Amino acid sequence: MHHVVLSGVGHYLPTRVVTNRDLEAVLDTTDDWIASHTGIRERRFVTDDVHMSDMATVAARQALLHAEVEPADVDLVICASSTPDYLMPATAAMVAHRVGAVRAAAFDMEAACSGYAYALVVASQFIRSGMYRRVLVIGGDLLSRFLNWKDRATAILFGDGCGAAVLEQGTEPGIVAARLGADGSGAEHIVIPLGSRVPPVGDPSRHEVRMKGREVYRWAVGLVPRLVQETCADAGWSVADVDHLVLHQANLRILEAVAERLSVPMDKLVLNIDRMANTSAGTIAVALAEAAGQGRFAAGDKLLLAGFGSGLTWAGVGLRWTITRPLPQHDARWSEPAQP
């Protein structure tokens, strides 16, 4: 079995910033209430001409440049998203074409807020087995187009964003632990009702995000500490050994409760929920790339990633940071007009 390392990361963030003050104009809420209950102060929304494949293409290009990998050398592209451009074809195939990964297989996967961590685990299995040497993993969502602006409980929580990573065969261990789980008994707790059960016809409001917030909070606060502990045990670490916890950015109050139960100081958590809100499959991917760009990680650091969300699904990944190159700055030429 081959070692798997993370060799490059990237991200895309929309330029349009929507603050809590902006939401006061359309929702019966206040900046103080949103910030005190969620930790969110602003979020990013795409413009009308930007789609999931556009975000993914920019994030993928930065990750490939960071990894110093030629697109033609990528063997597989996986895109984790609940908001693809289309039900078919796969967004991953479109992105592979646009970045020049002409030899790559491509498929989409959907595990909602756990999607990016799920995709990292799936990608690592292809590499461990020797089937592929390099896999491009993308995680992101564009939830601004699925929000109900009459439901203040959900409309305040979400934003748009996307991240990407390159995984490769390595000479030393990178990903050292992986744990996946699901409990479909809670599937109705977080839903975008669009599919064969609820076809895309009639009133568009039928397809907006619906969430049972209290149930999700209780579930997450109970589950995530166990997920972190079990993934650490799989890696041969104690929780105290972990240098950085990169958790799904669902709600700051969930993250604070998790840190308290684990007896972990908050400065070990990589946080951006105050600026990005919940970007679903994008949260961990974007947080990783932002922190890498800030020089927060050093070679050899132990990172614990944990995704959790709709499904209900969860995923834990333990990895050693092996990248020493600085993250390349975004280049305006990476952005492309929307594709048909």
For residue 200, what pLDDT is reported? 76
Tens digit of pLDDT per residue, the chain (340 long)? Answer: 899 999 999 999 999 999 999 999 999 999 999 999 999 999 999 999 999 999 999 999 999 999 999 999 999 999 999 999 999 999 999 999 999 999 999 999 999 999 999 999 999 999 999 999 999 999 999 999 999 998 988 999 999 999 999 999 999 999 999 999 999 999 899 888 778 777 877 776 778 888 888 899 999 999 999 999 999 999 999 999 999 999 999 999 999 999 999 999 999 999 999 999 999 999 999 999 999 999 999 999 999 999 999 999 999 999 999 999 999 987 765 665 444 4
pTM of the shown model: 0.95
Amino acid at 216: V
Rounded to whole angstroms, the Cα distance separating 235 from 230 reads 9
Amino acid at the residue 243: D
Amino acid found at 169: Q
- 54 closest CA partner among 177, 167, 138, 147: 138
Distance in angstroms (rounded) separating the CA atoms of residues 239 and 308: 18
Q: Which residue has the tokens 């589950």?
A: 223
**Number of residues assigned to the chain:** 340
C-alpha count within 13 angstroms, C-beta hemisphere, residue 259? 19
Instruction: List the structure tokens of 117.
Output: 């961590």
pLDDT of residue 254: 97
Per-residue DSSP letter, 208: S
Q: How far is CA 85 from CA 32, 81, 224, in A?
A: 35, 10, 31
Active site residues: 113, 248, 278
Report residue 319 as tokens.
Answer: 């990895």
Please report, for residues 14, 52, 75, 288, the alpha-carbon distance to residue 48 in angstroms, rounded to integers and kept in the order given: 11, 11, 32, 27
pLDDT of 340: 41
pLDDT given at position 335: 62
| C-alpha separations of 10 from 166, 196, 217 in Å | 9, 34, 29
Contact 275, 293 (CB under 8 A): no
Distance CA 228, CA 230 (A): 6
Q: Answer whether the bond into residue 312 is a cis peptide, omega within 30°.
A: yes
DSSP code at position 301: -
pLDDT at 222: 96
User: What's the confidence (pLDDT) of residue 229?
Assistant: 98
User: Could you give the domains of the chain?
Assistant: 1-329 (3.40.47.10)
